[in-house]
């Protein structure tokens, strides 16, 4: 067992997200109450009205708009169309940017991140760390984010138990596409998903047969936050307003063998337009390291 753990840590070092996304600095100024933790544990989601200061939200928003205006990350596959399969960065309908702090390192030093990490540790335990970030900019009149579980996006042998902390940069409501969750839906395994439009080149996934009659809509002020687990079914409606809906999400995780995704599903085989660009962007050394990592995961987590 000990030997396995050592090997597993070694396999992670080939592309350690802790290094890629930097260390969280800064001191947390907010924590979840016991009542909030209990509500998250019971329902698989939570909403709070404030995770950082209004000044910081304004500052992040300036950076956010610049990163999307400059279309950073397109060649690496970090920027893509969540709802389409276009290879043309000018034709993206629902832009999503992965790991924005790679393109603006100041985002790694926010109060949002310090508070979110402290709260994630309250929910997942002291070993929780930032595994991933993303920003989804839903343009005016932009499409819905279909019902899904985040774990459906994971590749085979991923074994995180994760919490996404999603912060809107303006007030969100039913009109501009706030988040919605199905209570206790995190108690099930990954459900069947399919690519949007049944097109395997589209990144976005949709869970099939979701009964949304019990969905809870989470309206929030700018700088509020929702929290959800990687198995919680969630959705955000279309943006019917005339302003973009900006959201920035941090995903924290801990390794958990019970959460290992053993199957390669038809919808997570790495066939999207984004995957193609990401593969092309790798140099020979990175490509070999990724192959060794996949091989090590397959042996260790089988």
Binding stretches for ligand AKG (CB under 6 A) = 136, 138, 145, 150, 164, 166, 177, 234, 236, 247, 249
- Residue 33 in 3-state DSSP? coil
Residue 102 or 138: which CB sits closer to ligand AKG?
Answer: 138
| Region of residue 91 (left: phi > 0; alpha: psi -120 to 50; beta: else) | alpha
In the complex, what is the shortest distance from the CB of residue 263 to ligand AKG, in angstroms, rounded to a whole number?
Answer: 21
User: What are the helix (H) ranges across 145-265?
Assistant: none
207 vs 278, beta carbon nearer ligand AKG: 207
If the CB atoms of residues 67 and 247 are measured against ligand AKG, the closer one turns out to be 247
Using DSSP, state whether 148 is helix, strand or coil.
strand
Min dist CB 153 to ligand AKG, Å, is: 9
Q: Smallest distance, Å, CB 142 to ligand AKG?
A: 9
Q: Which is nearer to ligand AKG, 26 or 139 (CB)?
A: 139
Our CB check for ligand AKG shows the closer of 129 and 166 to be 166
Q: What does the alpha-carbon distance between residue 118 and residue 130 come to, in Å, rounded to a whole number?
A: 11
Q: How far is the CB of 136 from ligand AKG (least distance, A)?
A: 4
**Least spacing, CB of residue 1 vs ligand AKG, in Å:** 33
Judged by phi (left if over 0) then psi (alpha if -120 to 50, else beta), residue 114 lies in alpha
Dist CA 145 CA 179 (whole Å) = 9
Q: How far is the CB of 236 from ligand AKG (least distance, A)?
A: 3
Helix 284-301 vs helix 2-13: crossing angle, to nearest 10: 160
**C-beta separation of 93 from 143 below 8 A:** yes
Query: What's the CA angle centered on 28, arms 44 and 98, to 5 degrees?
Result: 60
Cβ-based nearer residue to ligand AKG, 85 or 230: 230
Q: What is the DSSP string of 41-72?
A: HHHSEEEES-SS-HHHHHHHHHHHHHHHHHTT
Q: How far is the CB of 166 from ligand AKG (least distance, A)?
A: 5
Nearer to ligand AKG, 137 or 278 (CB): 137
């Amino acid at each position: 067992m000990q030997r396995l753990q050592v090997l597993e840590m070694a396999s992670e070092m080939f592309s350690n997200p802790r290094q890629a996304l930097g260390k969280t600095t800064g001191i947390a100024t907010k924590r979840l109450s016991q009542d909030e933790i209990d509500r998250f544990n019971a329902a698989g989601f939570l909403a709070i009205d404030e995770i950082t200061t209004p000044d910081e939200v304004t500052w992040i928003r300036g950076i956010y708009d610049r990163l999307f205006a400059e279309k950073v990350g397109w060649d690496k596959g970090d920027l893509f169309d969540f709802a389409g399969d276009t290879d043309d960065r000018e034709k993206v309908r629902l832009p999503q940017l992965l790991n924005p702090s790679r393109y603006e390192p100041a985002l790694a030093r926010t109060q949002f991140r310090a508070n979110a990490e402290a709260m994630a540790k309250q929910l997942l335990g002291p070993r929780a760390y930032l595994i991933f970030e993303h920003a989804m900019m839903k343009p005016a009149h932009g499409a819905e984010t279909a019902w899904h579980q985040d774990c459906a996006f994971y590749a085979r042998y991923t074994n995180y138990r994760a919490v996404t902390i999603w912060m809107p940069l303006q007030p969100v409501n039913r009109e501009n596409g706030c988040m919605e969750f199905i209570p206790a839906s995190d108690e099930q395994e990954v459900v069947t998903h399919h690519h949007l439009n049944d097109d395997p080149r589209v990144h976005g996934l949709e869970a099939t047969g979701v009964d949304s009659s019990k969905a809870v809509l989470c309206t929030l002020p700018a700088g509020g936050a929702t929290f959800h687990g990687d198995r919680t079914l969630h959705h955000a409606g279309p943006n019917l307003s005339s302003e973009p809906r900006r959201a920035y999400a941090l995903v924290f995780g801990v390794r958990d063998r019970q959460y290992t995704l053993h199957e390669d599903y038809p919808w997570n085989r790495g066939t999207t337009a984004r995957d193609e660009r990401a593969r092309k962007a790798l140099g020979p050394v990175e490509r070999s390291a990724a192959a060794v990592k996949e091989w090590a995961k397959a042996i260790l987590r089988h």
